[in-house]
A and B are shown apart, each in its own frame.
Chain A
Amino acid sequence: MTIAEQKPPAVLIDQASKWYGQVIGINEVSLAIDGGVTGILGPNGAGKSTLFKMMMGRIKPNQGSVRLFGVDPWTNTSPYRRVGYVSESEKLYEWMTALDFVTTLARLHGMTREEATDRSKHVLEFVGLTDVMHKELGKYSKGMRQRVKIAHALVHDPDLIVLDEPLHGCDPIARTSIMSVIRELGRQGKTVLVSSHILEEIERITEQIVILHNGRLLAIGNLHAIRDMLDKHPHRILINCEDPRSMAGLFVSQDPVFGVRFPSEGQLEIQTNDLSAAHSLLPSIVVSSNQKITSIENPDDNLESLLGYLIREAS
């Protein structure tokens, strides 16, 4: 197969940059994504929404290029026949029922009335809103509204689904439901991009992640491989217990532990280079210490820590 015959990837971003006056939104980002679920991670202001807006043709990159299925979305709306987009800020028509709303948007894709109604009922069933599809959107909870947004993004059976913070503001049940919807779409072979600033959320959906910070691409690839990078740098485990000093005595003799601290009364901080090995030691040491443990925390096992590490590595 020649290069010309190759199918273009769903998303191809080449050296794209976008700045708003002095503020850099996206800084020379290059990406190619095709198939499966990919998590776009980054703290607030990292450039996730800017990246999505460039992909959706809402904003034009100041330099570089963005292609959806090989077509520039800024100059041509044809790729949107194959794209479903859930914007973080988008509002719904509050007076409409979910079925009317999704049907209306299906018709904006050029479906006939019958096709639009049938398909809308199916996608609303898929996101678990069949029971309430005749209820006005103004009466929906945040989680239900997010699911309606996903339904309207899926109504024309797109190949690429872009979800900007779909779990934001949802309760745990809605999160679980939306996550399983996203996983199912990935299993169907769709290309799904999901943005979030919470690592754990993405972790439950996919292993393929892209990390953005200050508009720059910090890491891309398998989550475990990136986490392994994190595991090579010092980690802390905070244990709240009755007698931290006797507990510390049990830890210091162990291999993965290279230091202990007592940050506050009743608190022990263990420092380790191998977080999983240290965690595997925990149960036996806790049992042998014979004391009451009120909490165990990993303050470094979060996105901020991962980002901090990646930023330091980058610099």
Chain B
Amino acid sequence: MEVAFGAGDGDDEATAIVARSEASLGTIFEQSYRPWRGELGPRWMRNYAIYRHHVYGVFTGKGHRQYHPMVRLMILVIFLGSLTPIPMLFLSSLFGDDGGFFDKMWGINRYNLWGQVLGYFPRNLCMWPLLTAIVVGGMISDDRQHGTSAIYFSRPVSRLDYTAMKYASVAVILGFVIVFSYFAYYTSAIVFKGEGWAYLSDTLPMFLSGILAGVILVITYTSIGLALSSISQSRFFAAIGFLSIIYGTKIVSQLVEWTFETTFLYVISPYDCLAHLGQLLLGLPLNYEHPVSFSIVSLIAMNGISIWILVSRVSSLEVTRE
């Protein structure tokens, strides 16, 4: 009770903590500036520094652009997901399933090569747009939001270099997942089935056409995504904007097709234009009614407009009064 109510006089075991009156010790450092006598590297070294900052950031945050761990995980999941035909090819080679179910579904043929890059489900519904959205999200919008573009523009880095290297960084990350997985799929088929030169010469034109389709897809998605990133200060806007464009135009075009039985409106859908062109490149029957030239013109227009927006927005970065 005495303890609880403090009934004692309090002097018997009086203790206190007193701040020690030590003089605060300052820091004196030797301020000797040593001039640097080296030679600064050429333009490509500066540009490579921008590129590596963005691309290496996918693998390590130390000294590079920071990608959220969830973004890195998502890129890994999408990359592994894009490689799923390879184990199926392996199974097919184990079963000796030439012309069977596995071979038909995952073996090398025009349909499967097209599908590896341009198939709608799951690649162009769940994987490539999502991958693009999370990569382009903060690529330029973060610089707009935080004013970090000043870091580049107060150095001998032109706006063209800045834009080109951002573009190359996004394209390389997308290309690594999309084109590299396609390449791995094709080479795995040759290795697992022990195919020879004759097979290679038969399938190489198809394979190269698929690569070209993949490169066009990477370029188109990069252009649209970076344009959206350059017009906003929010990585969320850029990501959602990109997904909205890809899915929104697809849905609207499909609704119009179902209602009016015309595929013409697919020219507004980046995915469908790419798919249409891909069918042409791989020699598949075209399943759109409108001419493929419409899709090609539409793709050129989409890329042109996106790059124009990107360039004009980067040109105005920090030029206005802050």
Residues of A within 8 A of B (CB): 20, 25, 50, 53, 56-60, 77-78, 80-81, 83, 85, 87, 89-93, 95-96, 100, 103-105, 107-112, 115, 119, 122, 125-126, 128, 130, 153-154, 156-157, 173, 180-181, 184-185, 188
The docked-state distance in angstroms from the alpha carbon of A55 to that of B84 is: 55
Q: Are B148 and A77 in contact (CB under 8 A)?
A: no
The docked-state distance in angstroms from the alpha carbon of A93 to that of B321 is: 23
Q: B40 near A: Cβ within 8 Å?
A: yes
List 22 A-B pairs, Cβ < 8 Å.
A53-B318, A58-B150, A60-B319, A77-B155, A78-B156, A85-B154, A87-B150, A90-B148, A90-B154, A91-B147, A93-B66, A109-B40, A109-B155, A110-B43, A110-B45, A119-B36, A119-B38, A126-B34, A128-B29, A153-B154, A154-B33, A156-B36
Q: B59 near A: Cβ within 8 Å?
A: no
One digit per residue, 1 when the CB lies within 8 angstroms of any chain A CB and 0 when it does not, for chain B 14-37 equals 000000000000110111111110
Q: Are B42 and A188 in contact (CB under 8 A)?
A: no
Chain B residues near A93: list those with CB within 8 A.
66, 148
B31 partner, pick from A20, A85, A180, beta carbons under 8 A: A180
Name the distance in Å between B156's Cβ and chain A's nearest Cβ. Answer: 4
The docked-state distance in angstroms from the alpha carbon of A173 to that of B43 is: 39
Chain B residues near A56: list those with CB within 8 A.
153-154
Minimal Cβ-Cβ distance residue in B for A115: B38
6 pairs of A and B residues whose beta carbons are closest in the complex: A110-B41, A157-B36, A107-B49, A100-B63, A85-B154, A110-B45
Q: Are B321 and A25 in contact (CB under 8 A)?
A: yes
Minimal Cβ-Cβ distance residue in B for A106: B49
Q: Are B321 and A20 in contact (CB under 8 A)?
A: yes
Minimal Cβ-Cβ distance residue in B for A74: B319
Chain A residues near B38: list those with CB within 8 A.
111, 115, 119
Q: A103-B63, A104-B53, A108-B151 are in contact. List 10 more A-B contacts (CB 8 A).
A: A77-B156, A90-B148, A92-B148, A96-B63, A108-B46, A108-B155, A109-B155, A125-B29, A157-B36, A184-B32
A108 partner, pick from B26, B29, B152, beta carbons under 8 A: B152
